[in-house]
Amino acid sequence: MSEAVTRIQVGGTAGSEPYEVLVGRQLLGELGGLIGDKAKRVAVIHPEALADTGDALRADLAGQGYEAVAIQVPNAEEAKTAEVAAYCWKALGQSGFTRTDVVVGVGGGATTDLAGFVAATWLRGVRWIAIPTTVLAMVDAAVGGKTGINTAEGKNLVGAFHPPAGVLCDLAALDSLAVNDYVSGLAEVIKAGFIADPAILDLIESDPEAARTPQGPHTAELIERSIRVKAEVVSSDLKEAGLREILNYGHTLGHAIEKNERYKWRHGAAVAVGMHFAAELGRLAGRLDDATADRHRTILEAVGLPLHYRYDQWPKLLETMKVDKKSRGDLLRFIVLDGLAKPTVMEGPDPAVLLAAYGEVGQ
Residue range at the interface with ligand LNCXM5UN (CB under 6 A); choices 78-86, 97-105, 199-207, 246-254: 246-254
- Using the minimum distance from each CB to ligand LNCXM5UN, give the nearer residue, 41 or 259: 259
Quote the CA–CA distance of 315 and 301 in Å, as a whole number: 26
Which residues make beta-bridge pairs with 219?
none
Buried residues in 20-41 as b, exposed as e (16+ CB within 10 A):
bbbbbeebeebbbebbeeebeb
Angle at which helix 267-284 crosses helix 179-195, to 10 degrees, equals 30
Fill in the per-residue mask, 248 to 277: x = in contact with ligand LNCXM5UN (CB under 6 A), - = not in contact.
x--x--------------------------
Quote the CA–CA distance of 130 and 107 in Å, as a whole number: 8
Which residues make beta-bridge pairs with 45?
71, 105
Closest approach, Cβ 187 to ligand LNCXM5UN, in A, equals 9
190 touches ligand NAD by CB under 6 A? no
Residue range at the interface with ligand NAD (CB under 6 A); choices 11-19, 54-62, 106-114, 287-295: 106-114
In order of 66, 68, 238, the CA distances from 168 in angstroms are 19, 19, 20
User: Is 156 in the active site?
Assistant: no
Candidates 11, 54, 105, 144; binder of ligand NAD (CB under 6 A) is 144
User: Is 240 in the active site?
Assistant: yes
The residue among 272, 269, 274 whose CA lies nearest residue 320 is 274
248 touches ligand NAD by CB under 6 A? no
The entry of ligand NAD, ligand LNCXM5UN, none that residue 76 binds, CB within 5 to 8 Å by partner kind = ligand NAD
Pairing of strands 146-151, 154-161: antiparallel
Scanning residues 181 to 200, which ones bind ligand LNCXM5UN (CB under 6 A)? 188
Fill in the per-residue mask, 112 to 131: x = in contact with ligand NAD (CB under 6 A), - = not in contact.
-x------------------
User: Is 150 in the active site?
Assistant: no
Scanning residues 149 to 188, which ones bind ligand NAD (CB under 6 A)? 156, 173, 176-177, 181, 184-185, 188
Amino acid identity at 34: L
Candidates 121, 133, 219, 226; binder of ligand NAD (CB under 6 A) is 133
Is 334 in a helix, a strand, or coil?
A: strand
Binding-site residues for Zn(2+), please? 188, 251, 267
How would DSSP label each residue in 166-214? EEEEEGGGGGGS-HHHHHHHHHHHHHHHHHT-THHHHHHHH-HHHHTST
- Using the minimum distance from each CB to ligand NAD, give the nearer residue, 149 or 284: 149
Closest approach, Cβ 251 to ligand NAD, in A, equals 9
Which one from 77, 188, 258, 280 is the annotated catalytic residue?
Answer: 188
- Residue count, binding to ligand LNCXM5UN (CB under 6 A): 12
- Using the minimum distance from each CB to ligand NAD, give the nearer residue, 181 or 360: 181
Which residues make beta-bridge pairs with 169?
23
Candidates 162, 244, 276, 333; binder of ligand LNCXM5UN (CB under 6 A) is 244
108 touches ligand NAD by CB under 6 A? yes
Helix (H) or strand (E) holding 250: none
Half-sphere exposure of 287 (CA within 13 A, CB side): 20
Which one from 41, 46, 162, 255 is the annotated catalytic residue?
Answer: 255
Helices and strands, number each (H, E), in the chain:
14, 11
Q: Say how far residue 274 (Cα) sits from the centre of its chain.
A: 15
201 touches ligand LNCXM5UN by CB under 6 A? no
The entry of ligand LNCXM5UN, ligand NAD, none that residue 107 binds, CB within 5 to 8 Å by partner kind = ligand NAD
Which one from 46, 77, 156, 248 is the annotated catalytic residue?
Answer: 248
Determine the straight-line distance between the first and last CA of the chain, rounded to whole angstroms: 51
Q: How many CB atoms lie within 10 A of CB 291?
A: 8
The residue among 246, 245, 273 whose CA lies nearest residue 261 is 273
| Catalytic site positions | 124, 146, 188, 230, 240, 244, 248, 251, 255, 267
Chain positions contacting ligand LNCXM5UN, by CB under 6 A: 140, 144, 146, 155-156, 188, 240, 244, 247-248, 251, 325
